[in-house]
Structure 1
Amino acid sequence: MQMASSLVIVYHRQPYEEDVENGKTVLRENASPNGIVPALKGFIGRVARASWIAWKKSPAGKPPKFERRIGITDSFGSYDVVRLPLSAEQVHQFYHVTSKEALWPILNAFPSLYSSANTDWATFREVNRLFAQAACEEAAPGAVVWVHDYNLWLVPRFVRELRPDVRIAFFHHTPFPPPDVFNVLPWRDEILDSLLACDLIGFHIPRYARNFAALAQSLRTVDDIVERDVPAELRGGRTALAEPRTPVCIRLRGHSVHIDATPIGTHAELIRATVQRPENLARAAQIRAELGADKLIVSVGRVDYAKGTREQLAAFERLLKRRPEWLGRVKLLLTAVAPAEGMTAYRATQTTIEQLVGRINGHFGTLSWQPIVFSTTSMPFTETLCHYRAADIAWITPLRDGLNLVAKEFVAAHVNDSGVLVLSEFAGAAVELADAVLVNPNSISQMDAAIDRALDMPINEQRQRMQRLDAVVCQRDIGHWTRHMLAAFGALRRPQGGKAKAA
């Protein structure tokens, strides 16, 4: 007999990796114990019972060749996973087209790249309805249904209609733009009404919370907005995303929408322990020896125009021209993971990155030295940490980024030792990591000055900055975020008099 869950996590990805061995599908825990999926799985052992709603591709018009519901027991606990069978066309429309061609450019404040030419909003809406229906079937009376990320924006409204008895929470892992940018979307009213059906909406930092509150005020008659001072550790000084005050509640039509701004943390203790194993310290030393650089710069991300890789490569090219003393002595290890098959929104970006890497290596490289080591495939978690540990500088300069866990991982991997983090002001993590070399990636002069400063920084200053960064990363780790979110769920009132409707 199916047991109802007190926490239902709704996220498009499955909470494990699938491999095929001897013709059989094998489910494995995620290779990396860090990141969004493991972070969300950390809640499973802290509630009475949990379910996870995800999608899995299935041929259209045919019964799926997999069980819709499976029980999982792993290191996080026991929970059920409900897989929604989506056709290739549904996945393409929901994720590859609507999410990436229409919504993603707006979220990251690139309205010039917005396109709805190929968008089928009805399919996007229907996929969201399927997620909502599955969540409602899992939820116990008064349960928390926790929805994640922008491609499930319409789920809360459907859940509220089907299950007025549950508490609905939403967390944005992305930036949230100001109203004038968000309002480019022709579906803005439908999206906003869905989000306002939530009891709790979470963001990484106060700026995104303020942008959301401003959107609600611009499109709806709001009865009241409650604000409070931002904690000192999240104010961000005078950086691009700094906010002294943040909204914590919007009241309209007799309903209160609580707003939270708490950045997700990294598994700092695990990272520290991993990099300090003798075999991994040896691997880090081997990486240094193999790459043969006096200064090793690492940059890890994915192919995406918002990640600023083109601007970063242009700055690296200028460095080699401007400071020829670094020729043969500095090396950039660049990982820009290629997009999934069928994702056309980033095709031009990938071509540009590959051309720039080829041009720089061709112009400055020699038979014995290439300035850039480039990869479009992701590295295993431990190998990635060893590269962080081996590097002198992490160069993380997105034009926009909801948070950026790579920055925190790099800090944790250096365990209070030397190293320099060069970080974009427009990454959400910048409001926490004040001791990074913060930079506006849109400015040529600032990018040049930032990489010069990183290369020339005295070792004592490196260590002092890294110690302060490490203290922040360890204090506001994944455990801190988990405890905070559980407390926020616990503070939500259960809806009075709400009864479940027939799905």
Structure 2
Amino acid sequence: MSSDLVIVYHRQPYEEVEVDGKIELRENSSPNGIVPTLKSFFGRVSKASWVAWKYAEDPANPEFERVIEIDDSYGKYNVSRLPLTPEQVTSFYHVSSKEAFWPILHGFKERYNYDPVDWPMFRQVNWAFAEAAAAEASDDAVVWVHDYNLWLVPAYLRQLKPSVKIAFFHHTPFPNPDLFNVLPWREEIVRSLLEADAVGFHIPRYSNNFKAVARSLTSSRTIDEAPTIEEMSPRGMALSERNTIKALRHHEHDIIVDTSPVGVDTDYIESCMAEPEVQAKVEEIRADLGEQQLIVSVSRTDYTKGNVQQLEAFERLLAKRPDLHGKVRLMHVSVGANRNMTAYEEIQQRIEELTGRINGTYGSFEWQPVALISTAIPFKELLAYYRAADVAWITPLADGLNLVASEFCMTRADLGGVLVLSEFAGVAVLLDGAVPVNPFSHASMDSGIEQALAMDAEEMRGRMERLRARVRAFDINGWVGSQTALFDRLRRVDHAADDAA
């Protein structure tokens, strides 16, 4: 039976766990995250499928199960697994996506590396994803493609299955033409995206950048634009936009440009915070801190996340403010990703060097100013640290959204804590109440963290009330609702065309 909804994403929708030498497929251990969120759409259609890749030493092995059926708490659905060799994954994901696309998407032109990209291999892998999606989809299905490593899937899918409705969602920033057009494959990528029926982004800036790129490379034109809703257009912020593109027309094909930020699961976070174990952990952390103020910073190890710049700002704070010695601690969680890539190894090395220098210069036997944690902390334990902290310091140089900031706010039912947030995190245009900082400015970073540490309880409460209201307004339920409405709209457009014919 063909599927009414096909989700195309590089990750599999479950965890593979080895038990007694055999691999078991288990639901994700936490219901929080993008994979469980996407799976929640399965209950809204009669039949659904998921397309992902899986390592295979020999893709031609007849014993490899290409399509398996999963029956879990989200229902029954097919998973079409593409067997990719380690060499294919390295080329398609680690090289093309991470060394060529990632720096351009985030504005780091100087880190762009074109030379090792195997473009025919990238095409080949995207074609395989499109073929698998076409095989699973019914004639009037919605095929929902996710993220930049699958940029070419819409064009291939339109060739293979012209009748399906194609939606594409970007989970990263989308840059302006001056940056995007550095890519030598820019026109092929954009023309593929313009074969979709809807292209989605987190915030208006990314949607408008897509419009600008499309109009720089093709004859597409704007057919619908509107003033940005007030909740997404704070005046004076780096990523603010006064108007937002709603639709483009390329030749005779209309493309909805959808702006809808992914949110956090507020209900799940609040249920976690009510658990006695989490509450006990909060008390344990505060008891250990005594009168010290705790700053928490959580991110991946990545040059886009501003880890180094933040540690340098903390070092300047301690140099300027001897009165804070022994009274403030920074918990800097920087979880390594893609450690086999030179760019990330360099960042990790610099983080470790800075941490050692700060602790060596200002620390003592009784007090170490920086606690560097390079492994992932269990989610509920992390929530306890958010609740116990005085400040969350989230200062990426560029970030598609950043859900850590929202998670922090949802742990603060006590209306305590201060959020210091980079203007270049996508979520900054949503979270009214944060202390905004420019991570490219020493003065802004320095004044922002000092303001947060000195903030009085009344101002803190007022800011946190506004922050929590915004997180609720843009939570995961809001995003699920907006995407469901988008799919309904795509189907109505299709039916209207049939009626007119």
* TM, length-normalised to structure 2: 0.96
1:228 to 210, 217, 226: 226
Contact in 1 for aligned 2:339/2:345 (Cα 8 Å) = no
Inter-partner Cα distance in structure 2 for 1:225 and 1:105? 31
Deviation at 1:291, TM superposition (A): 4.6
- Deviation of 1:383 after TM superposition, in Å, equals 1.2
1:61/1:137 CA distance change after superposition, 3 Å = closer
Shift of 1:382: 1.0
2:75 aligns with one of 66, 74, 77: 77
Matching residue's letter, 2:421: L
SS state at 2:314 partner: helix
* Partners of 2:289 and 2:70 in 1: CA distance: 42
In structure 2, distance between residues paired with 1:71 and 1:304: 36
* SS at structure 1 position matched to 2:308: helix
Pair 1:199–1:288, CA change in 2 (3 A): same
Give, in whole Å, the separation in 2 of the partners of 1:334 and 1:88.
Answer: 32
Q: C-alpha separation between the residues in 2 aligned to 1:132 and 1:182?
A: 24
Determine the C-alpha separation between the residues in 2 that align with 1:169 and 1:384: 34
Q: Is the 8 A contact 2:432 2:470 kept in 1?
A: no
Amino acid at match of 1:413: T
Q: CA deviation at 1:292?
A: 4.8
* Structure 2 equivalent of residue 352 of structure 1: 350
Specify the alignment match of 2:307 in structure 1. Answer: 309
Distance 1:61 1:470, change over 3 A: closer
Give the aligned residue type for 1:150. Answer: Y
Q: Spell out, residue by residue over 1:296-355, the C-alpha distance to the aligned partner (whole angstroms, 9 max, x if none).
A: 111111011000011100001111111111111111111111113533342211111111
* Amino acid of the structure 2 residue aligned with 1:381: F
**TM-score (norm. length: structure 1):** 0.96
1:386 equivalent among 374, 384, 395: 384
Q: Does 1:409 align with 2:407?
A: yes
Tell me the distance in 2 between the aligned counterparts of 1:68 and 1:342: 29
> 1:307 is paired with a residue of what secondary structure?
coil
Q: 1:467 aligns with which of 465, 470, 493?
A: 465
Cα distance in 1 for partners of 2:143, 2:427 equals 27
Matched-pair contact (CA < 8 Å) for 1:9–1:52: yes
Give, in whole Å, the separation in 1 of the partners of 2:348 and 2:99. Answer: 15
* 1-structure distance, mates of 2:468, 2:62: 47
Quote the residue 2:243 is aligned against.
245
Partner SS for 2:464: helix
**CA-CA distance at 1:62 after TM superposition:** 4.8
- DSSP 3-state at the match of 1:243: coil
How far did residue 78 of structure 1 move?
2.1
**Segment of structure 1 superposing worse, 194-203 or 368-377:** 368-377
Alpha-carbon distance in 2 for matches of 1:23, 1:376 = 29
Residue identity opposite 1:371 in structure 2 = P
Counterpart in the other structure of 1:277: 275
1:369 aligns with 2:367: yes
Alignment partner of 1:256 out of 254, 257, 277: 254
What's the offset of the Cα at 1:4? 0.9
Q: Displacement of 1:367 after TM fit?
A: 1.0
Query: Aligned partner of 2:185: which letter?
Result: W
1:114 aligns with 2:82: no
Q: Which of the numbers 197, 203, 206 marks the counterpart of 1:205?
A: 203
CA contact (8 A) 2:402 2:425 kept: yes
Partner of 1:494: 494
Shift of 1:42: 1.8
Residue 154 of structure 2: aligned partner: 156
Is 2:150 the partner of 1:136? no
Superposition CA RMSD, Å: 1.5
Q: Does the alignment pair 1:145 with 2:170?
A: no
Match of 1:501 in 2: none
Cα deviation, residue 447, structure 1:
0.2
Paired residues in the alignment total 495
- Residue 419 to residue 214, structure 1, CA distance change in 2 (3 Å): same
CA–CA distance in structure 1, aligned partners of residues 463 and 60 of structure 2: 58
Structure 1 window deviating more from structure 2 (418-427 vs 280-289): it is 280-289
**Alignment counterpart, residue 24 of structure 1, candidates 22, 32, 36:** 22
Q: What amino acid is the match of 2:315?
A: E
Q: For 1:389-431, what per-residue CA distance to the aligned partner results, in whole angstroms no more than 9, with x for missing partners? A: 1111110000000000111110001125211111110001001
Distance 1:462 1:94 in 2: 46
Q: 1:461 to 1:9 in 2, by over 3 A?
A: same
Distance 1:95 1:291 in 2: 42
Amino acid in the other structure paired with 1:494: D
Greater mean deviation of Cα atoms: 81-90 or 70-79: 70-79
Cα 1:21–1:74 change in 2 (3 A) is same
Question: Deviation digits for residues 189-225 of structure 1, max 9, x if unmatched?
Answer: 1101100000000000000000000011111112443
In structure 1, what is the equivalent of residue 422 of structure 2? 424
Q: Distance in 2 between matches of 1:341 and 1:399?
A: 20
Structure with the greater relative contact order (CA < 8 A, sep ≥ 6): 1 or 2? 1
1:336-395 deviations in Å (ceiling 9; x for gaps): 111135333422111111111111111111111111111111111111111111111110
5 Å matches for 1:69-108?
69-108=67-106
Identity fraction in percent: 54
CA deviations 1:139-158 (Å, max 9, x no partner) are: 01110100000011011100
Contact 1:107/1:182 (CA < 8 Å) preserved in 2?
Answer: yes
In structure 2, what is the equivalent of residue 439 of structure 1?
A: 437
Letter in 2 for 1:288: R
Give me the whole-angstrom Cα distance separating, in 2, the residues matched to 1:223 and 1:405. Answer: 33
**Which region of structure 1 is more displaced relative to structure 2, 268-277 or 289-298?**
289-298
Q: Which amino acid aligns with 2:52?
A: A
> Secondary structure of the residue that 1:260 maps to in structure 2?
strand
Name the CA shift for 1:259/1:110 in 2 (closer, same or farther; >3 Å). same
Separation in 2, partners of 1:409, 1:329: 25
Q: Contact 1:416–1:467 at 8 Å: present in 2 too?
A: no
Are the counterparts in 2 of residues 293 and 331 from structure 1 also a CA contact under 8 Å?
A: no
- Per-residue Cα deviation, 1:52-105 (whole angstroms, up to 9, x for no partner): 111111104651764222222222222111111100000000111111110000
Aligned to 1:500: none
Question: Which segments of structure 1 move beyond 4 Å, counting only runs of 4 or more?
Answer: none
- How far off is 1:286 after superposition? 0.9
Secondary structure at 2:342's aligned position in 1?
coil
Consecutive unaligned residues in structure 2, runs of 5 or more:
none
1:36 aligns with one of 21, 29, 34: 34
Conserved? CA contact 1:269–1:474, under 8 Å: no
Amino acid at match of 1:407: A
- Which residues in structure 2 correspond to 1:282-297 (within 5 Å)? 282-292=280-290, 294-297=292-295
> Tell me, what secondary structure is at the counterpart of 2:494?
coil
Aligned-partner Cα distance in 2 for 1:197–1:171: 13
Deviation at 1:28, TM superposition (A): 1.9
SS in 2 for 1:494: helix
